[in-house]
Amino acid sequence: MEQRQLGKQGLVVSAIGLGCMGMSEFYGTADEKESVATIHQALDAGVSLLDTADMYGPFKNEELVAKAIRGRRDTVVLATKFGIVRTGDASFRGVNGRPAYVKSACDASLHRLGVDHIDLYYQHRVDPDVPIEETVGAMAELVTAGKVCYLGLSEAGPQTIRRAHAVHPISALQTEYSLWSREPEAQILPALRELGIGLVPYSPLGRGFLTGHFKRYEDLAADDYRRHSPRFQGENFAKNLELVERVKQMAAGKGVTAGQLALAWVLAQGKDIVPIPGTTRRSHLEQNIAAVDLNITPSDLSDIAAVMPPGAASGMRYPEEMMRMVNL
């Protein structure tokens, strides 16, 4: 497996990671046995970066990951997040970046994960009511205490990233980035490269849409989060499906799937980029990993850009109320 470096602090991970969120929530019925088997297969294939968060489940996803990595901790780069507050009944309680909460959340994650340190610890969402300097200051204290090795931010805007990085080096920024979510190219990616921070794109397959698997809105399970996503609704669904069909045609010409071509495109955007496609099935995992070895030529990149230029996707990537929480 190709290795890539995130940031300048020494964090080295596999070129592709595994997003574990959907193994516990959001994308329909979960199958813990298959999820654990998928994590094991990822580790066997050389995937080292596993991504979770305390709010996934809520709390259950960290426990699932803990079960999967038991006895294999030395092969895992473990990433988790704090900041989106949920209760045991799955209610959302807002965003919290207060220093005391940062420390208590870390201790709780360490306990659920069954480890003595977290490799990459992200602030999941920026708290608009707490100066980023205070939040990152508390995160830096976790590094000093040996509880965390590297720091990350998720869905932070360029100015917040700069302010955070001035307090303690940030190794990675996580944000949505894919063929149909190319917003980071305008300001975020240039800022990251100026500062030497890696990019970890989540949903590099457009929440599964770019695989071509979905043909109708009704293909989504009744409890699937994507039913509330603007890009999966009404006319947006139909327009986005047209885009995916073009990608599928290009992929067929190269003898690969649409999802593999979409992932290979993300991987080709720079060696400082490590996508974390999520999957709950071993068969899908195999396809995703194969994208690492797919050769994408400059001509291919131009052709893909012509088919799906920035802003081509119809609809916002989150409902309006959730969009207020990103790029702060």
What DSSP letter does each residue of 219-268 carry, written as one string? GS-TTBGGGG-GGGSHHHHHHHHHHHHHHHHHHHHHTS-HHHHHHHHHHT
Is residue 181 packed enough to be buried (19+ CB in 10 Å), middle (13-18) or exposed (0-12)? buried
For residues 101 and 132, give the distance between their C-alpha atoms in angstroms, rounded to a whole number: 14
% the chain with pLDDT above 90: 74
Spell out, as residue ranges, where the chain has pLDDT lower than 70.
Answer: 27-28, 90
Cα 192 to Cα 71, 158, 211: the distances in Å are 35, 8, 28
For residues 279 and 286, give the distance between their C-alpha atoms in angstroms, rounded to a whole number: 10
| Nearest alpha carbon to residue 94 among 126, 120, 49 | 126
Active-site choice (56, 121, 177, 202): 56
Q: What is residue 38's predicted lDDT score, i.e. its pLDDT? A: 96
Rounded to the nearest 10 degrees, how much is the dihedral formed by the CA atoms of 27, 327, 18, 312?
70
Is residue 33 packed enough to be buried (19+ CB in 10 Å), middle (13-18) or exposed (0-12)? exposed
Match 């990459």 to its residue by tokens: 120
Which tens digit of pLDDT belongs to each residue from 112-153?
Answer: 999 999 999 999 999 999 999 999 999 999 999 999 999 999
Q: Is 56 a catalytic residue?
A: yes
Cα 16 to Cα 148, 213, 227, 286: the distances in Å are 22, 21, 27, 12
Q: What is residue 320's predicted lDDT score, i.e. its pLDDT? A: 83
Q: Do 243 and 312 contact (CB within 8 A), yes or no? A: yes
E strands, 249-327, are: none
Is residue 26 packed enough to be buried (19+ CB in 10 Å), middle (13-18) or exposed (0-12)? middle
Residue 171: what are its φ and ψ, rounded to 5°?
Answer: -90, -30
- Please give the single-letter amino acid code of residue 128: P
DSSP string over 157-190? -HHHHHHHHHHS---EEEEE-BTTB-GGGTTHHH
Which residues, at least 6 apart from 199, have a Cβ–Cβ distance to it below 8 Å? 172, 173, 174, 175, 177, 184, 188, 189, 192, 270, 272, 273, 274
CA 302 to chain centroid, in Å, comes to 25
For residues 161 and 170, give the distance between their C-alpha atoms in angstroms, rounded to a whole number: 8
Q: What is residue 28's predicted lDDT score, i.e. its pLDDT? A: 67
Q: Please state, as a whole number, how many other Cβ atoms lie within 10 Å of the Cβ of residue 90.
A: 11
Q: What is residue 35's predicted lDDT score, i.e. its pLDDT? A: 94
